[in-house]
Amino acid sequence: MSEKFKPVVTENKSRSERIVSQIKSLMFEGKLKPGDKLPPERELAEIMNVSRTSVREAIKTLSAMGLVVIRKGHGVFVEEANLGSVINKVGDALILKKEEIEQLFEIRKVLETQGARWAAERATKEERLYIDRLVSEAKEACQQSDIRVEVITNHDTIFHNAVIAASHNNVLGMVMGGLMEALMKVRAKTMKVPGRVNQSIIDHEEIARAIMARDGKKASRAMYDHIESVEKSIIRENATRE
């Protein structure tokens, strides 16, 4: 099993995103089959030349996407073919033309706003604290003068994934997970827009605050405003280039 995995090269993606992409490729190529057990966290980290934290984040993402199942005390296993795996193939095929980017934001406004509402209503204490901590970590990261775009993009991805996971709706997790590749492409572009990083952190604080307060209506509104703000940033940036 171990020989299937390769060291991770980061380039434009974070390490956890690269791990997710590699494992997904192995699944779709049939090299990882339903029921196969992934190597232990420590072993995967050594093989792929990444930290255990990166492996842990990648496994959480794959689980939210419905591609793996985490069995406590037994390990991580490739999930049987399901809705998540089908949606993933569709999401990976998106080329992201202008129209598709607009439609991606439309669907995000529907799904993620409801996901934020559910997160406020259903999240465990640990999930609320985790979401709140992610915002603090992103703020600290942004204070570094040499912060890379891919690092900020990774913080953004992890935050949104955490909110979706806290909604406790597995189908929503599969759908959003299936769109992950497309979302990461858009996020990478978004974070290069001047002022966007700081505004996103402010938006995330509002979302996290509403979730901590268990205010579903406010969380939904904050998420909608955030997504709309990001969309407007992309539109303005594209307009200046045309």
pLDDT at 10 over 70: no
> Tell me, what's the pLDDT at 12?
46
**Of 61-65, 144-148, 219-223, minimum mean pLDDT range:** 144-148
Tell me the β-bridge partners of 69.
Answer: 77
> Tell me, what's the pLDDT at 34?
84
pLDDT at 93 over 60: no
Q: Which domains does the chain have, with CATH numbers?
A: 2-81 (1.10.10.10), 84-241 (1.20.120.530)
pTM of the model: 0.66
pLDDT at 69 over 90: no
74-90: pLDDT as tens digits: 999 988 755 555 555 54
Residues 221 and 50: beta-carbon distance below 8 Å? no
Q: How far apart are the first and last CA of the chain?
A: 49
186-218: pLDDT as tens digits: 777 778 788 888 899 999 999 999 999 999 999
Q: How far is CA 55 from CA 5, 8, 190, in A?
A: 12, 11, 25
